Amino acid sequence: MVVSAVCEMMSIGMIIPFITAITSPELIFASDYMNPIIEIFSINSEVELTIFLTILFCITAILAASIRLITLWFQTRFCYSLGADLSTQLYKNSLYQPYTVHVARNSSEFISTIVNKTFQSTSFAILPLLNVLSSSLLLLGIVTMLLLVQPLVAVSVFTLFGVLYGAVILLTRSKLDRDSERISFEQDEVVKKLQEGFGSIRDILIGNTQEVYLNSYAASFKALQDAWANVEIIRSTPRFVIEALGIVSIALLALYLASLPEGLIGALPVLAAMALGAQRLLPILQLIYASLSSLRAGFESLIDILELLDEPSQEEVIKGNHKLIPFNNNIQLENLSFKYDSQSSLILSNVNIDISKGDMIGIIGTTGSGKSTLMDIIMGLLKPVDGSFLVDGKVIDENNRFGWQSLLAHVPQSIFLIDASITENIALGTPIEKIDLEHVTHVAKQAQIHEAIMSWDKQYDTVVGERGVRISGGQRQRIAIARALYKKASVIIFDEATSALDSKTESSVMDSITELSKDLTIIIVAHRLSTLKNCSNIIELDDGKILRQGVYNDFI
């Protein structure tokens, strides 16, 4: 940037001897400054002088343009590389946030910030900031040279343009602030509307409610585009006024210089330098103004990024050396209570449960009874506000919960399958080159999905489609069971994993679960009592408390 500014000074400064050589070459030969150069290059005639200065002027102009181009290349590459780093760091920081943060925040906010706001901040905050810096250096160089050529005129012109742009900035600041907030808000809304639409596509198709979702999305996206349009108009408008004023200024300057004793011919080199300086100055002033406008428009998005980056990450804790929690005897919940914050009521109250290793435990209760919250506590995702959660007599807390979680596997109600092969879905989270194919086949047999897989054309290379749409519900559940077994977990938690299945498929999947290793401790959350008929103990929750415990026949 500094070299570019120096080259701009040289290119403007060279126009004076260049024009002088064309109009009054005798002045060059009489100049004390030029004599050493004339002697070095053995210039003897006016023609040689003119050719030499023309070549020198062209070289400085080309050099200045080349350096600016190189600066632009490096500046832009740096900016967008920084944007990629920011987006990756945001995603990383989000993944390492505690479960309570993800529960409290809509995923569309994370996605919008990581993808959209990072791009917007790169284009409308970071790059403009670099443009302001580089343009300010160029401006300093050009103004310095113009001051050396004609101080009074340079000060007058620069003051005029500076005051005009300053006034525009002051007048548009509040409008840009409002648009910046609007852009930040509507970006979240646009992603949210898309997620809602694609997430409920079945209901939309059945209910023929496409227009409702479309109108909602269109309103948010239109508001977003309107805000960006306002920013673009504000960024571009002053240029036309300033360009007209620039032409008028040059005309008045020519009139002023023509009135001087040396006349217009004598003042022509100075006039040319001022014209070239103005020609360079105006785009730079406009770029600075436009960049400041963009920076203000992207400010709220940049703030959102910085706030997400500033949230404390658990990366170091999670990546630390975690000792496995020995689990040889039992899991205990003693007088355990939980609520999300001080204002909310208790979701779990004084819960006492004892689960022995190798047990198959069933948890049943109506919606809102606290079943899923209880599972989240057992999985170490939530911390009880009162009471204790112990494994083999040792309290599970922030210091050892990651070691405990390494023993767990979770099969949720909504099975997440990636649009990839069966193998990749069973070994989810494992790099392809590190997947143990023999173990994949073994756990698929345990989950009783191997025969079905082998009947398909591509077998374990079969692609399941987005969210597993190309396979049945029962097959998705068995793949989820195989995934849990692939982890070699000691405890598997089925959180209403069969509630969406019909009775026959559910019975088949439950038989698969029952046939699993007797060394596994299995906890099954269910709505239907029949799902839990093979459990060694069934616990019924009601309003966050244990209503009763027993075996299947006791409940019948």
Average pLDDT by stretches of 10, the chain with 556 residues: 80 71 70 73 77 82 84 84 82 75 68 74 78 81 73 70 75 78 79 71 65 78 83 74 69 67 60 64 76 76 79 63 73 84 78 85 83 84 84 80 80 77 82 84 82 83 70 77 81 75 68 71 82 83 84 81
- CA-wise closest residue to 493 among 517, 526, 542: 526
Dist. CA 17–CA 34, nearest whole Å = 9
Residue 44: CA count within 13 A, CB half-sphere: 1
If phi over 0 gives left and psi between -120 and 50 gives alpha, with beta otherwise, what is residue 551?
beta
Backbone angles phi, psi at 353, to 5 degrees: -140, 140
Dist. CA 533–CA 120, nearest whole Å = 55
> Residue type for 128, please?
P
Q: Find out whether 402 and 315 touch, Cβ atoms under 8 Å.
A: no
CATH fold of 81-310 reads ABC transporter transmembrane region fold (1.20.1560)
Q: Where exactly are the structural domains of the chain?
A: 81-310, 330-555
Enumerate the β-bridge partners of residue 388.
334
- CA-wise closest residue to 498 among 470, 459, 534: 534
* Residues in contact with 308: Cβ distance below 8 Å, sequence separation at least 6, in sequence order: 90, 93, 94, 110, 113
* Residues in contact with 226: Cβ distance below 8 Å, sequence separation at least 6, in sequence order: none
Dist. CA 310–CA 119, nearest whole Å = 19
pLDDT in the model for residue 164: 75
pLDDT in the model for residue 322: 60
pLDDT in the model for residue 204: 67
Q: Global pTM?
A: 0.60
**Where are the alpha helices (H) located in 150-298, listed in sequence order?**
151-199, 201-207, 210-258, 263-297
Distance in angstroms between the alpha carbons of the first and the last residue of the chain: 81
CATH fold of 330-555 reads Rossmann fold (3.40.50)
Q: Give the rounded distance of the alpha carbon of 169 from its chain centre.
A: 29
Q: Find out whether 301 and 183 touch, Cβ atoms under 8 Å.
A: yes
